[in-house]
Structure 1
């Protein structure tokens, strides 16, 4: 039994407070698996009764089954990491690929999506920060938001990023894309931004608990299988693209009809 297969169908039914609990659980699976319900409840600032009610709402009979499935899921993930994805059949890999995209989109908090869209309605300058493969993705993101009429700044090298970070204002919005979420440069950037009137900081990271995720004003996490070919990363970034597109579409959906001419075919 996989944790995400159990909970995903029930995520849309969660209320705001339950979404906060769900976010905490997903980001801290490795920690929760060895803790009692009282310890987890205390860390979430809710009663054990409230947390148990949440556990049952997302599909488990009780806390024991909840932690058992988490341990099983993490064990399987660790085993999968040791195997080449191309050892499995092409059919299985396709199914995992599609499942990762589906899970990444399914767990998006609609209120977070709306909050970013509402912020975009004020026409902030958009700053994009990414490295490695994410830089290629950012070129597409810059194209999308520039087409929608935004001023988009994407500094691609470190010296330029140091200059640009001094230009960011409180009314702007910053997107940081990093799957690992542990890059020292991004941590330092976020610390700098929070030491002055802070812009809205939105990050896209992996689902595992990480520093960038925790320092962001809003985080969207994705599920994917990390792949390396000849020591070069070729991990799929489709889920990150999907989330950035959904952010833009959410904004366009709420925009004044006279502002954009949208055609759906």
Structure 2
């Protein structure tokens, strides 16, 4: 496990001060190699002893060892000057994809694909920006001929969970894994013995604890991002991976091609 994965895995359990340290480290990995511990303490407005304790918390002996661990990551992800807006956004997306790809577990993806194939019905939950991702996944599954629906309203989530059946599948999407309405709905679905899949960023989140299977995406707050870019990019990467595995099934691929053909034909008639 890399130092980045260790920080992200424990992030939900960090104190406010520890999260400040973690955020700065994750957003400024390249510059830390030129800092001493006092420099970092000044940057995050904390003490050197707090940074030392943070290192211990993530199973690193000390600040110097943390710098070495970060430097070893940099060799695999070379940085470059980003002189333009285009390069800034390209760098953001590249980092999110690279880190998400490192977090993917083959067995989890295989289980997710198998459960979607065999579910009597798949319901995808998401609120806010995660709601758009939920709607996208639902549309893809429907086009493959699967019984699926996206639920992005918190009240409808409660209603759906109240009447869900054991042979139905819930896919819950939340970067933080702490969206209250989503968690409340899943607690009901859990009591109904429905299977739950989580797409999220944190291993110790409330969502992860409720899920039977979890796929992790890199959180946008871990990138030094001060502009308006897609915070769902890690989740969308996971959806692309899952969808690609699903369409390897000839029946699903046929349905996808058929719906594409008919939609395109209808669009031409409407012109």
After TM superposition, the structure 1 = structure 2 runs for residues 1-265 of structure 1, keeping only pairs within 5 Å, are 3-4=3-4, 26-28=8-10, 33-35=55-57, 64=61, 68-69=65-66, 90=85, 91-196=87-192, 198-207=193-202, 209-226=204-221, 235-253=230-248, 255=249, 257=250, 260-261=253-254
**Is the 1:100–1:239 Cα contact (8 Å) retained in structure 2?**
yes
The unaligned stretches of length 5 or more in structure 2 are 15-53, 71-81, 258-271
**Is the 1:130–1:156 Cα contact (8 Å) retained in structure 2?**
yes
In structure 1, C-alpha distance between the alignment counterparts of 2:217 and 2:171, rounded to whole Å = 15
State the TM-score, normalized to the length of structure 1: 0.63
What is the aligned residue count?
200
The unaligned stretches of length 5 or more in structure 1 are 5-21, 38-62, 74-86
In structure 1, C-alpha distance between the alignment counterparts of 2:194 and 2:9, rounded to whole Å = 24
State the TM-score, normalized to the length of structure 2: 0.62
- Higher Rg of the two aligned structures: 2
- Per-residue CA distance 1:213-249 (angstroms, 9 max, x = gap): 22211111211424677xxx85421221121121122
Q: Which consecutive aligned stretches of 4+ in structure 1 deviate over 6 angstroms post-superposition? A: 70-73
Instruction: State the secondary structure of the residue aligned to 2:161.
Output: helix
Q: Higher helix fraction: Structure 1 or Structure 2?
A: 2
